[in-house]
Structure 1
Amino acid sequence: MRVIVLGAGLLGTTSAYFLSQLGHDVTVVDRQATPGAETSFANGGQISVSHAEPWANPGAPLKLLKWLGREDAPLLFRLRPDLRQWLWGLSFLRECTPARTRHNIEQIVRLGTYSRDVLQQLRRDTGIAYDQRTQGILHFYTSQKEFDAALAPAEQMRELGCERQVIDADQAVRLEPALAHIRPQLAGATYTAEDESGDANRFTRELAKQAEAAGVRFLMGHTITALREVAGEIDHVEATDAEGRYQRLRADAYVLAMGSFSPLLAAPLGIRLPIYPAKGYSVTMPVKDASRAHQVSLTDDEFKLVFSRLTGPQGDRLRIAGTAELNGYDRDLSTVRCEAIVRRVEQLFPGAGDTAQAQFWSGLRPATPSNVPIIGASRVGRLFLNTGHGTLGWTHACGSGQSIARIVSGLAPEVDFAFTRQTAAAPGPQALTRTA
């Protein structure tokens, strides 16, 4: 079967690779010159099943009120005259109940655990290298209140098979000696030994090479302008190439994996995806003093930051990423928010990184109100969805790609997850029917 995958980020590239493995003739279309050049370019680097508590949780509304007006707030709503933003925000608040939070954690953990297993098998099968580290992920807390609030979600994750163990401050420092500098401030930590980290951009580019070797065609520098429907199913994709020439692309099936831009292409078809761009920031800097730099991948839950160590062809680097800013499709870098990240790094690991050579980046994460991605068949024939992964695109990429490849092929997915099929009537921002 001929399949066109729209988007060459993590989700599009993994979808294409696994579709090819199932015997399909696959073409990937993307406006960038190379795969993984947008949201997959400089993310936090974590394959983090333990990062399963959604932004929308019972404690979120009060935190949002506290953060209002703070330019350096971990989660910042820049209120706009944008109906999509307001509808997304209302849906976000509906997801903050204890029952919805528990349901969403369950979906996120199931997909994350499966996806991590698929990634590990892929690594064994192909020998793919991407600055990976398999030293686990340590969540640390400098606030007793934040640590206490993490205990119940961690317990639920353990019940679901994610071994997120609660440990004390001394154990945290033994696991990661670089935390010794802030030992008096540590309230506690959790540690998930099975979690990993690595360079998502390098992984995407290396997997794209593997896919090309298997026959996948990548049409880079092609801007997708529309999906055209005839008689209830997709007839063709319209695009322009790097020279601006019109292209009409046809296939037997189409996979929409364009992150935050997915809703813009889906809306003319009557498909209203509950996805809004959440701008995330990252800082990458060379390691200046290896004795002060962390080895284990870390999560600072209070400040919503993740820390990874990337050691590969580009040298020994620290990657710090996080925060979320809801401001439409704006990608401008806020100096205040960039400086806040660097300031936190220096508080925690003074002198570890070369701040004078820090490189700043922003990317638009495709966030759903629940943090649960949208994977499955759409209400329009021959159109499939693999989008809305928010902050967990790297964590969920391989499992999502494997799953959508099986769904397109008419096979049952291997993971118990709330895969989606859109209803015929899509009157609002949450017009999705999920089946598991």
Structure 2
Amino acid sequence: MVMKIVVLGAGVIGVTSAWYLARAGHEVTVIDRQPAAGLETSFANAGEISPGYASPWAAPGIPLKALKWMFMEHAPLIVQPRPDWAKISWLARMLMNCTAEAYAVNKSRMVRLAEYSRDCLIELRAETGIAYDERQKGTLQLFRSEKQVTAAEKDIAVLKADGVAFEVLDPAACIAAEPGLAGARHKIAGGLRLPGDETGDCLKFTQSLAAMAEAAGVTFRHGVRIDRLEAEGDRIAAVHTSEGRVTADAFVVALGSHSPQLVREFGIRLPVYPVKGYSITVPIVDEARAPVSTVMDETHKIAITRLGDRIRVGGMAEIAGFDTSLKAKRQATLTHSIEDLFGGAGDQSRASFWAGLRPMTPDGTPIIGRSPLANLFLNTGHGTLGWTMAAGSGKVLADIVSGRQAEIDTAGLGYARYLRTPRAARPQLGKAALPA
């Protein structure tokens, strides 16, 4: 059955959702407050498409590591002390997932979706010829200590269980894979390389796919503020925007960190919290010193990625609500990581600095599928892996909305995993506001 569907949000998740919904034959409209697609969280992320590194932040040992990180000069995690109940609640739920059992379940779910998404992206690229500074040269997780090498064993066990190709490398093999690391040989203890991983510019992809979707009949309404949803019975009747009321047969919430505010008053409690990440983008000035693909600096939790004639350096996690201000100290951490490993590869005097809000769930797995309201669907909470999981998430969502069986097992991907009892799923009708 052909439906009229409104997708709320034009980041990489909203645009891929719209693309696959349109391919399924539906009439699709995308609404977003920005003047073009991909201008918020999708704008300048780290650039890696890394299914094998799809891991929840909630892991055994993380609470102790977090305490140590607080005293590092270039800390990968920063928790602002300002009181915030949503932050406290989210952190408490994340800590509850820091067990070996929970980690194995959550990582398996994430790898399943991420591997499928990579396959969907390959298929989409072959079908459309879309270009986005893409490379298919694998990714390298770089360890600076033997302790990190040993700690990777739990991830390797999951990779084996899920059939993900990997290579355990000694320092010499790391440099063979990434020759630009030669000057940092003495800082390398080993590495874990995933040859099936890819890289690419998420913004270029999102905007190119949006143009293709528009040519295929999708309507994009940019610069339109989303104010609230209007419910009738157990369904959404319309979305109220700065340009009036918009009706549809179904609605998809793909608003990243802003998703919870829109649905909260309907009794839907999305445990999605904004975790701020930073990146710098620098032009390459020495090809011989530049990365070939993505190198993930395990010590600083920073990814260094080759994007055409640029290097993107992204990472860190700052838990500070919806604050997107740029802090010089964070840029210094990014600069330190790339210069420490690929010194002289990029022109730091021409670096562009950016910060965005990653929509994180406490267990790491995104929320994809039906909501307790009959015609309201969710595609949000992808955290640091929105680019990695985008194509697969969009296709899974389109299958669910269309009433088709998804091509992968969707168990554990939906909102239902957060419901303690069936009664909790009963919607509370009302109006939900979204900040401008």
What TM-score comes out, normalization by structure 1 length?
Answer: 0.94
1:251 equivalenced with 2:248 (yes/no): yes
Compared CA separation, residues 94 and 21, structure 1 to 2 (3 A): same
Residues 79-102 of structure 1, C-alpha deviation per residue, up to 9 Å, x if partnerless?
322111000000010010000000
Give the stretch that moved more between structures: 262-271 or 214-223: 262-271
Compared CA separation, residues 228 and 69, structure 1 to 2 (3 A): farther
| Match 1:163 to one of 162, 165, 187 | 165
Structure 1 residue 423: deviation in Å?
A: 8.6
Alignment of 1:140-159 (within 5 A): 140-159=142-161
Contact 2:367 2:415 in 1 (8 A): no
Residues 210-248 of structure 1, C-alpha deviation per residue, up to 9 Å, x if partnerless?
10111000000001011111111111101114xxxxx10
C-alpha distance in 1, partners of 2:61/2:199? 28
Residues 160-219 of structure 1, C-alpha deviation per residue, up to 9 Å, x if partnerless?
021122121111111111111111221110111110000000000000011011100000
- Residue matched to 2:434: none
Q: Identity percentage over the alignment?
A: 46
Structure 1 residue 421: deviation in Å?
A: 4.4
Q: Find the residue that maps to 2:165 and give its secondary structure.
A: coil
C-alpha distance in 2, partners of 1:150/1:75? 19
C-alpha distance in 1, partners of 2:268/2:142? 40
Give the stretch that moved more between structures: 400-409 or 74-83: 74-83
Amino acid paired to 2:389: H
Alignment of 1:364-379 (within 5 A): 364-379=357-372
Structure 1 residue 281: deviation in Å?
A: 0.2
1:270 equivalenced with 2:264 (yes/no): no
Amino acid paired to 1:274: P
Contact 1:365 1:389 in 2 (8 A): yes
- Residue matched to 2:413: 419
C-alpha distance in 1, partners of 2:353/2:371? 36
Alignment of 1:62-81 (within 5 A): 62-68=64-70, 72-81=74-83
Q: Find the residue that maps to 1:219 and give its secondary structure.
A: strand
Contact 2:5 2:248 in 1 (8 A): yes
- Give the superposed CA RMSD: 1.7
Give the stretch that moved more between structures: 2-11 or 230-239: 230-239
- Residue matched to 2:191: 189
Compared CA separation, residues 423 and 289, structure 1 to 2 (3 A): closer
| Match 2:294 to one of 289, 292, 297 | 297
- Residue matched to 1:95: 97
1:180 equivalenced with 2:182 (yes/no): yes
Contact 1:379 1:424 in 2 (8 A): no
1:282 equivalenced with 2:279 (yes/no): yes
- Residue matched to 1:244: none
- Residue matched to 2:304: 307
Amino acid paired to 2:296: T
Compared CA separation, residues 230 and 70, structure 1 to 2 (3 A): farther
Residues 268-325 of structure 1, C-alpha deviation per residue, up to 9 Å, x if partnerless?
21111010000000000100111111112111122111111111xxxx1000000110
Compared CA separation, residues 8 and 336, structure 1 to 2 (3 A): same
Amino acid paired to 1:332: S
Alignment of 1:306-385 (within 5 A): 306-311=303-308, 316-385=309-378
Q: Find the residue that maps to 1:419 and give its secondary structure.
A: coil
1:113 equivalenced with 2:92 (yes/no): no
Aligned residues: 421
Amino acid paired to 1:18: Y
| Match 2:129 to one of 105, 119, 127 | 127
Structure 1 outlier segments of 4+, above 2 Å: 67-72, 421-427
Compared CA separation, residues 381 and 275, structure 1 to 2 (3 A): same
Q: Find the residue that maps to 1:308 and give its secondary structure.
A: strand
Structure 1 residue 70: deviation in Å?
A: 5.3
- Residue matched to 1:13: 15
Q: Find the residue that maps to 2:53 and give its secondary structure.
A: coil
Q: Find the residue that maps to 1:416 and give its secondary structure.
A: coil
C-alpha distance in 2, partners of 1:85/1:125? 42
C-alpha distance in 2, partners of 1:198/1:266? 32
C-alpha distance in 1, partners of 2:418/2:191? 46
Q: Which runs of 5+ in 1 are unaligned?
A: 242-246
Contact 1:130 1:200 in 2 (8 A): yes
Structure 1 residue 155: deviation in Å?
A: 2.4
